[in-house]
Amino acid sequence: MTAQSLLHSYLLLDGAQIEGLAVRIYGLEESPSLHLLYQHSTYEPLAEVGPLLVAVRPHSELAQVFQQEWQATAGIWLESDASEDDLVEHLRSLIHVRLEGEQTTLFRYHDPRIMALWLGPLNADERDPLMGPVQRIRLPADSGAKLALLRENKPQTFARYDDTPWLRLSQEQLEQLNQAKHACFDQRLLAHLQRFFPESLQGMDAAAQQQFVTLCRQSAARYGYSAADEVARWASLLAELGSDFPQAPEHDTYCQLLEQRDLLPAQRLDNLIGELQCQLLRTDKESVA
């Protein structure tokens, strides 16, 4: 029996991005063995929207759905030469990390874009202990890394979950990983604008559209808005009023609303949207008259 034949394939999927993930898998596979990585951890209440590991057979219906729908943003394909129990325990140990200042945060390494930025730049000595029982990780071609990340030497022991993370990320690594987070957010924001404000993107090529959504996110951040719903609402202002919002002379009324420091940021945003709606109504009446 060859070493290749001893490899078992798995999918590590994102329950937060794939709605009804367990139900979908049961519809694609007969009697699948599912492992929710947040189970048996301090994050167990989030288990249903956390990462899920499931064995996969190449060329199966599950494998085809993964390749067609999920591999770009919602999971990774990995291969292991260890026991399934060792694999689950090691992957569970990676669900959180320590940052500088001893802060603990969840780690979305199961996003292929984050995986590429995290493990891709490392040499074998650095990467092998992090991969542990994982012999190969397959990544989509547009992830920014090689098509496969390989473990060169199998560690003697594998990590196990503890409430205190063993994994650390430096500030430099964190900044690199935030690139993937912003890319994911911008992709969703672009889809939102294409659906609800398609006229704001007319005449733009793909690069220009990407620049516009990045501008929307950065402009919102300058005024204290970073939550997805807040940025989407702020983007609607730029879509209707122009990319120079709120700096153009005709935006004086909006600037005054932004300067109302006795209000919460969410209330100021409500007032901005209300003013925009009033302005659009006035414009409609004038065009009819």
pLDDT tens per residue, range 271-287? 999 999 999 888 766 66
Residue 26 confidence (pLDDT):
95
The answer to which of 7-16, 73-82, 145-154, 155-164 has the lowest mean pLDDT is 145-154
Quick one: what percent of the chain has pLDDT higher than 70? Answer: 94
pLDDT for 17 equals 87
Q: Number of H helices and number of E strands within the chain?
A: 10, 8
On the question of pLDDT at 253 being above 70, the answer is yes
Tokens 């983007």 sit on residue: 235
**pLDDT at position 143:** 54
Q: Are residues 179 and 163 in the same domain?
A: no
Our count of domains for the chain comes to 2
Q: Are residues 23 and 165 in the same domain?
A: yes
Residue ranges making up the domain that contains 76: 4-169
Q: What is the mean pLDDT of the chain?
A: 90
Q: Are residues 191 and 273 in the same domain?
A: yes
pLDDT at 3: 47
Check whether residue 274 and residue 198 sit in a common domain: yes
- Domain identity same for 49 and 114: yes
Count of C-beta atoms within a 10 Å radius of residue 63 = 18
Quick one: pLDDT at residue 83? 93
The whole-number pLDDT of residue 228 equals: 85
Say whether pLDDT at 145 is over 70. no
Tell me the pTM.
0.67
Q: Are residues 115 and 193 in the same domain?
A: no
Residues 71 and 17 in one domain: yes
More confident residue, 2 or 156: 156
14 & 150 share domain: yes
208 and 232 together in one domain? yes
Measured in residues, the chain has a length of 289
Q: Are residues 201 and 232 in the same domain?
A: yes
* Final residue before a domain boundary, out of 147, 169, 191: 169
CA atoms of 220 and 225, how far apart (whole Å): 5
Where among 169, 190, 207 does a domain terminate?
A: 169
Whether 181 and 217 have beta carbons less than 8 Å apart is answered as no
Q: Among 45-59, 135-149, 186-200, 210-224, whose mean pLDDT is lowest?
A: 135-149
Do residues 154 and 180 share a domain?
Answer: no
If asked whether residues 229 and 162 sit together in one domain, one would say no
Range 147-160 burial, b when 16+ CB lie within 10 A, else e? eebebeeeeeebbe
Q: What share of the chain is helix, strand, coil (3-state, %, to 5)?
A: 50, 10, 35
Identify the domain boundary among 169, 185, 219: 169
